[in-house]
Amino acid sequence: MDLKISHNSKKCIGELKISGSKSETNRLLILKALFSEFEIKNISNSDDSKILEKALKSKEKIIDIHHAGTAMRFLTAYFSQLEGREVILTGSKRMQQRPIKILVDSLISLGADIYYENKNGYPPLRIKGKKFKGGSIKLPAGISSQYVSALLLIAPVLENGIELSLLGKPTSLPYIEMTLFLLKNFGVKTYFDGKKIKINPNIQFKKAKQTVESDWSSASYFYSIVALSKNAEIKLSSYKSKSLQGDSVLKNIYENLGVKSIFKDNCLLLKKEEINFPNCIDLNLSKAPDIAQTIAVTCYGLGIGCNLEGLHTLKIKETDRLVALERELKKLGATIKITESSLILSPGNNFKQNCSISTYNDHRMAMSFAPLSLKVPLQIKDYKVVSKSYPNFWKDLVKLNFIIQMR
């Protein structure tokens, strides 16, 4: 299904409540299943979190997580330690093309029983849950931080905990730090020196009510809207100036793109500021790769160039996001080059009219391109894909006077 989107006034004033962070929610759901019932407030309403929550409660042998990559990784670790439970963990066609060998090898070396149903190194997986002791392992840290977090989350229930030596520079480091913070918040003893992580087996888990901060990656699209508007003031809730989420680096990046961030009473106010834009911005996004699409599209809309590095993890997401970005920006008239881990966008924005943006089953492709409709009307294919992380996205854009026609 397609959607047409445009904006007449180029003025965006409004107040929105954003759902809880998908990253925080998913970690807390695993901890809740492992230890005890506790209340989670402002839980994410994303498809990914709903799928994970449903899977954790399911008694079925076959668990299908569809496109939910975090659920695949976290559940692989979770079911491996669930004594007496055997499951087949599977997903969409794309999920069965996304590698998981590094995580599976690590769990097997710790004592888990996991087998590949089809292709070696890829889902679906047959997991025979059992008690195992844990111990010391080495893990390549530059592929996905979710492999690391999946292991850390189950470490407290293993007899010997886990001592994890990270090989190479960790990618998306703030998300490893988020996992460690949440574990410590529940009384788990942790150690991390940048290269080695140690999680002690937990004796007594502290129950605590958890309030999830709203999702910063969802906020990224409103940063882009403010940057591309003639006049904008958007209030978002609930956000903290000091956040666990790596994507909160947005507030610093978009300061150079004409967006001022003001924090007050757990709300984030985004205001348009008139500035002299740089000709090009250079960013290493290895700690926050999920905001790369939004930044690239914003820069094209503003007519400035960007050199984005540290994007190697985008190759194994819902689609190859670098290839998808290159194709769709070129449709609009952009001059862009990509490598295995970087994107170079030349200054200029000679917008082509009547463009139809393909989304490649990727929620972030749909949402990152939507703000560009402030500059040129667009058609977005398969617009419902946004439900993966932000089901109310199109409704919220209507509140900001975007004109949306669904068909």
Q: State yes or no: is 290 an active-site residue.
A: yes
The b-or-e profile of 385-398 (16+ CB within 10 A means b, else e) is bbbbbbbbbbebbe
**Chain centre to alpha carbon of residue 3:** 24
Question: What torsion do the CA atoms of 281, 285, 289, 295 make, to the nearest 10 degrees?
Answer: -10
CA atoms of 349 and 332, how far apart (whole Å): 8
CA atoms of 125 and 133, how far apart (whole Å): 21
The angle, 0 to 180 degrees and rounded to 10, between the axes of the packed helices 22-34 and 69-80 is 20
Q: Are 293 and 316 in contact (CB under 8 A)?
A: no
The angle, 0 to 180 degrees and rounded to 10, between the axes of the packed helices 173-185 and 145-154 is 10
The b-or-e profile of 306-335 (16+ CB within 10 A means b, else e) is bebbbbbbbebbbbbbbebbbebbeebebe
Q: Who's near 265: CB < 8 A, 6+ residues apart?
A: none
Are β-strands 267-272 and 231-237 bridged in parallel, bridged antiparallel, or unpaired? antiparallel
CA atoms of 36 and 205, how far apart (whole Å): 8
Catalytic one of 290, 362, 382, 396: 290
Which residue type does 104 have? V
Residue 361, CA atoms < 13 Å, CB-side half-sphere:
12
CA atoms of 104 and 91, how far apart (whole Å): 16
- Residue 103 has phi, psi (to 5 degrees) of -70, -45
Question: What torsion do the CA atoms of 376, 381, 383, 384 make, to the nearest 10 degrees?
Answer: 180
Q: Which residue is it, tokens 């901060």?
A: 213
Which residues carry out catalysis? 290
